[in-house]
Amino acid sequence: MNPTLFARLAPPLFVLIWATGFIVARFVAPYAEPLTFLFVRYVLAIIVLGVIVAVAGVTWPRKWHDWRNSLIAGVLLHGLYLGGVFWSVKHGLPAGISALVAGLQPLATGLLTGPLLGEQVSARRWTGIGIGFMGAALVVAPKLGAGGVPPLALGICILGMLSITFGTIWQKRTGSNLDLRVNAAIQYMGAAAVTLPLVLLTEEGRMELTPPLLGAMAWAVLGLSIGAIGLLLFLIRQGAVVGVATLLYLVPPVAALMAFALFGETLSPVQLAGMALAALGVAVASRN
């Protein structure tokens, strides 16, 4: 594919694939414990990426600091972020609130990229971030329950959001020179290493090998762990971290449309207005 064309297609393709993660979570919930599912997903991703790297003849890093940097990125981007969100939802945090917490990531990224990366966030980009957050909030607003919010689950979810924020910044600072396939494989080693002890301490390792679970696992490995993460690493390498983070505002609207198509979930006028606002915010933040 033409490199220029791929660079243009990468952002919408990333949003589309990333949004399917919410659909996968809904499919697998009755059949597997969340951290167990994530650990198996990481291991399978390592195997698949290892085969791809071997066939392509790509060399693995020879310096320890390259391994260290990618392992830390994997712990932050995958292990602590996904583990935190999955654990929080399992322990009573409404999915709508978890989505709102995730929507704070571009705000946190904008605040941290200046001191940590030296990236200056323009007034236009801050405007886009604000508009995008309002849009994402409107999309998930009808799903917010009236019940109480477990403080521990909310805190773990916030830590997960901060984890992917720092992981994105860490990846931008340290992972630019590695082959993307090698980088992703090592990241999943870090994610698996931090997830396994949590599985052993908190879960029984339950997985029912049903067709829905196997199909969801196949997509989680090939589509999400390899496709979406490969696109994320490519976008981080190519652009400003705040601009990449702002794309995540489009994920709740796209996920809501998928749920409407697959599960018959309704879309209210407020949600439709939120989708338009989220798209506007990303357009303003990403405008050259």
Which pLDDT value is given to residue 222?
A: 94
Predicted pLDDT of residue 287: 65
pLDDT of residue 181: 92
pLDDT value for 193? 96
Q: Rg (Cα) of the chain, in Å, rounded?
A: 18
- Cβ-Cβ contacts under 8 Å for 83 (sequence gap 6 or more): 34, 35, 38, 160, 194, 195, 198
Please tell me the predicted confidence (pLDDT) of residue 78: 92
pTM (two decimals):
0.83
Residue 281: what residue type? G
Per-residue pLDDT of the chain (288 residues; tens, 9 = 90+): 666 777 788 888 888 898 888 778 777 878 999 899 999 999 999 999 999 999 999 999 999 999 999 999 999 999 999 888 878 877 777 666 676 777 777 778 877 777 777 777 778 878 888 888 888 778 777 766 555 567 888 888 889 889 988 998 888 888 667 898 999 999 999 999 999 999 999 899 999 999 989 999 999 999 999 998 888 888 888 776 666 777 777 777 787 788 777 767 677 788 788 878 888 887 787 665
Residue 94 has a pLDDT of 65
Between the CA of residue 283 and those of 99, 134, 246, what are the distances in Å?
A: 20, 14, 9
Longest Cα–Cα distance of the chain, Å, equals 55
**165: which 2 tokens?**
């924020």
The whole-number pLDDT of residue 175 equals: 62
d(CA 210, CA 110): 42
pLDDT of amino acid 240? 62
